[in-house]
Amino acid sequence: MIREKYISLAEHIKREKEKARSLKKTRWWRRKLEKGMCYYCGKKVSPEELTMDHKIPLSRWGLSTRENIVPACRECNAKKKYLSPWEWEEYLEKLKRREGE
């Protein structure tokens, strides 16, 4: 008999943060930082000012995989918080519409 294991969101986040810490030590992540560019706004910033962001947040059951992790400036990372990629795009569109008024 196969038993499925269910974990809590808190346990999921803990596990994925551990994976993210491991990814921070890889050449792949260092190359991302060397480019010095925020994934979201495209601004050029120093590698020290870039943070690791999960496109699909861990709180939304996102994973710490290379496909889901991007470098982000502190400003974008703070604004995005727990938003999904679709919600983030919607947020940016609202900002553009406000600026156009």
The candidate with the shortest Cα–Cα distance to 21, out of 64, 50, 61, 54, is: 64
Assigned token pair, 79: 């604004």
pTM here is: 0.86
51 close to 43: Cβ distance less than 8 angstroms = no
* Domains defined along the chain, listed by start: 9-100 (1.10.30.50)
Say how far apart CA 59 and CA 36 lie, in whole Å: 26
pLDDT in single tens digits along all 101 residues of the chain: 556 688 999 999 999 999 999 999 999 999 999 999 999 999 999 999 999 999 999 999 999 999 999 999 999 999 999 999 999 999 989 988 888 76
The candidate with the shortest Cα–Cα distance to 84, out of 51, 59, 57, 63, is: 57
